[in-house]
Structure 1
Amino acid sequence: MSKKEITEAIERIRSYMEQQNRPYSVNDIFMNLHKEIGKTACQKAIDQLVSDGVLREKSYGKQKVYVYDQNHFPSLDEEQLKAMDARIVELTEAIKEKEKLCSEVEVKLRGLSSSLTTEEAQKKIAETEVAVETMQKKLKDLQENQVLVSKEEKDKVNKDSENMLKMWRKRRRMTVDILDAIMEGYPKTKKVLYEEIGIETDEDVGITMPKM
């Protein structure tokens, strides 16, 4: 870098550190200035500012941070400090109010975002009206005892019922045969056997097998 560029870098970093008045590392300054000053040039400018007594250097292990020397700021009297403290409290309260307002606005925004648009609402109303009309017709048919099940559907239900009943009878008969075979060598009563195995009969659960 030319001498002019180094001078400009020193002045820019000096001005930035004065305005921010907070500690930064070399990398912080490099990034905060959007990399417009090279990292090596940043370090050279900072070293010069430290040498000139404009910046103060603090080491934390291998990390070094730099801050604007507070002696370059005009001293404040007690009244000015009190005024600044009062202003800080005032601004803090203002920030809290703004944050509260932002939270309320965000809640409203989320509510609006989850609401239906006018077009979506109209479509939903139309779909609901069709569904209501269909249900009303079905209710009317039921009230008038109209046949709502086709013959094919009814035949299928009856056939399925007969098949299930046959399967029930078959399995019940197989179970009874097995239990009777066990009873031939079992020293206790059938009731005790059922209790030990954990068997419930149709009668135990109040079920009567339909007649075919």
Structure 2
Amino acid sequence: MAPAKKNQLSTENALASVQVYMQQQYRPYSVSDILLNMHNVLTKPKLITILDTLVADQQLVCKTIGKASYIECLNQQIKDLKQEICHLKLKLQEIVTTPTNEELDNLIEVYTKKIENLSLELEKCRHNTS
């Protein structure tokens, strides 16, 4: 006797469930593997159309090796995290190169002394030329 058919999901629910499943697994699967792992909740033609839709929306990637096609989750999250890491490294570099308050106080003292010395030299030069 054939196994009893389970209730079919609507297209929107099926899209969401397949996408969540692929993100959770985060490894390549063939269509038949996905069908079996989801316990035949979807028919094979419906699953193929859903996977094609997700591939067209660039949420999944289809890689063909020989005659077999494998579908896996897109590495977009990894790309986003790498960009965020790069941005945070730049921020960290900026924070590290910014002087602390103590260093700023020391720099202010050094530069005020330089200004005083240069002012004195300028006055000497003015008196010598006149």
TM-score, normalisation: structure 2: 0.53
The one of 45, 54, 72 equivalent to 2:50 is 45
Task: Give the fraction of aligned pairs with identical amino acids, expressed as a percent.
Answer: 31
Aligned pair 1:72/2:71, yes or no? no
Q: CA RMSD in A?
A: 1.8
Q: Distance in 1 between matches of 2:38 and 2:63?
A: 21
Give the superposition deviation at 1:38.
Answer: 1.1
Aligned pair 1:33/2:38, yes or no? yes
> Which aligned runs of 4 or more in structure 1 are off by greater than 3 angstroms?
none
| Unaligned runs of at least 5 residues, structure 1 | 79-212
Give the structure 2 partner of residue 192 of structure 1.
none
Residue type matched to 2:81 in 1?
Answer: S
C-alpha distance after superposition, 1:43-99 (max 9, x if no partner): 010000000000011001110001110013441549xxxxxxxxxxxxxxxxxxxxx
Q: Distance in 1 between matches of 2:67 and 2:32?
A: 13
Q: Distance in 1 between matches of 2:43 and 2:15?
A: 12
Give the structure 1 partner of residue 90 of structure 2.
none
Equivalent positions of 1:112-191 (< 5 A) are: none
Computing the radius of gyration from Cα coordinates, the structure with the larger value is: 1
The one of 5, 16, 21 equivalent to 2:10 is 5
Equivalent positions of 1:46-65 (< 5 A) are: 46-65=51-70
Give the superposition deviation at 1:34.
Answer: 0.5
TM-score, normalisation: structure 1: 0.33
Residue type matched to 1:68 in 2?
Answer: C
SS in 2 for 1:64: strand
SS in 1 for 2:81: coil
| Unaligned runs of at least 5 residues, structure 2 | 1-8, 87-130
Q: How many residues align?
A: 75
Aligned pair 1:21/2:11, yes or no? no
Q: Distance in 1 between matches of 2:15 and 2:32?
A: 15
Identify which of structures 1 and 2 has the higher relative contact order when contacts are C-alpha pairs closer than 8 Å and 6+ apart.
Answer: 2
